[in-house]
Amino acid sequence: MAGIDIVPMYFNDRDEMLRRLGSSLEREFRTMVRYRNPWFDPELSFDSSRGQYRASHILKALLNDPHEELAERILGVAGVDLFTPVLTYVFGEAQLGGRAAVVSSHRLRNEVYGLPANETLLFERLRKEAVHELGHTYGLLHCPSPRCVMRASSYAEEIELKEERFCEGCRSIVTAGGVAPARR
C-alpha cells in the first residue's frame, strides 16, 4: 500500500509530538501515515562499547517487516543516540533510493548542549530531519540550496537554517516518485 509507516522506538511519553510529526509528513509527502509498534527488539542494535544504537542495524530490522500490507516507506523515530561505525553520531540514516529511514531526536534536544529544554524547537528539528531522511529514500542527495530541507546539517543549530520543505528541484523529484540509486 502507499503511505508511510512510523515506528517509534524509545519515544515514550511523546505521543502528541509523534502525531504532529505524522500529520506534517502526510502534508509534505501527500500520503497517509500509519503508526506501528516495533516488531523487533531495538535493544539488539545497542553497542555497549559506544553506548549508542547502530543506525544500520535498525534500518535492517525495519526492513524485515512481517506486515501483510507493506507501506511504501517506513520511518523509525528513535529517542536514543544513533551512530554509524565511522561517525561519532548521526541525526538519522536512510536507504538512498530505498524504503527505510530512521531519525533520532536525541541530539536534537537542547538539553544535550546544556541549554533549557524547548519542545517547539525539538519538534521543528525532528520534522525537518524526518523529511530529510525520507527524502533520501526518494534518491535525493544533499542539496546545495541553503533553505532546502535536503541541505546537510551536522549540528542541531544548522537545522534551524533550513526550512521543512523541499526546494523546487527536490520537490519535483519527490513528486515524480524519486530517482533510482546509482550503481557503485
Partner 1 sequence: MALRAREAAAPQDLGGVLIVDDEFSMRDSLVHWFEKDGYRTGSAQDGREALRRLEEEPWDAVLLDIKMPGMDGLELQRRIREVDPELPIIMITAFASVDSAVQALKEGAFDYVTKPVDPDQLSRVVRLAVERHRLRQENSQLRRKVDQLSTPTTIIGASGTMSKVLELVKSVAETDATVLIRGESGTGKELIAQTIHANSRRRYFPIVPVNCGAVPESLLESELFGHERGAFTGAQYRRKGKLEMADGGTLFLDEVGTIGPAMQVNLLRVLETKEFARLGGTKPVRVDFRVICATNQDLEQQVKDGTFREDLYFRLNVVAISLPPLRERREDIPPLAHHLLGKYAQEMNRPFTGFEPAAMDLLVRHDWPGNVRELANAVERALVVGRAPTVRVEDLPVRLKEMHDSPVGDSLADVEQAQIRLILERTGGNVTRAAEVLQIDRVTLYNKIKKYNLRP
Cell of 33: 501515515
Q: Which of 154, 157, 160, 161 binds partner 1 (CB under 8 A)?
A: 154
CA dihedral for 97, 81, 144, 33, sign (positive or negative): positive
The question of whether 133 is a catalytic residue gets the answer yes
User: Whole-number minimum distance, CB 28 to partner 1, in Å?
Assistant: 17
If one asks whether residue 117 binds partner 1 (CB under 8 A), the answer comes out as no
Candidates 133, 157, 158, 163; catalytic one? 133
Footprint of partner 1 on residues 55-114 (CB under 8 A)?
56, 72, 83-90, 93, 96-97
Three-state secondary structure call for residue 40:
coil
Q: Render 133-157 in DSSP notation, one character per residue.
A: HHHHHTT------TTSTTS--SSHH
Is residue 157 within 8 A of residue 128, CB to CB? The reply is: no
CB closer to partner 1 out of 117 and 182:
182
The radius of gyration of the chain from alpha carbons, rounded to an integer in Å, stands at: 15
**169 makes contact with partner 1 (CB under 8 A):** yes
Binding site for partner 1 (CB under 8 A): 50, 56, 72, 83-90, 93, 96-97, 136, 139-142, 144, 152, 154-155, 169, 173, 176-182, 184
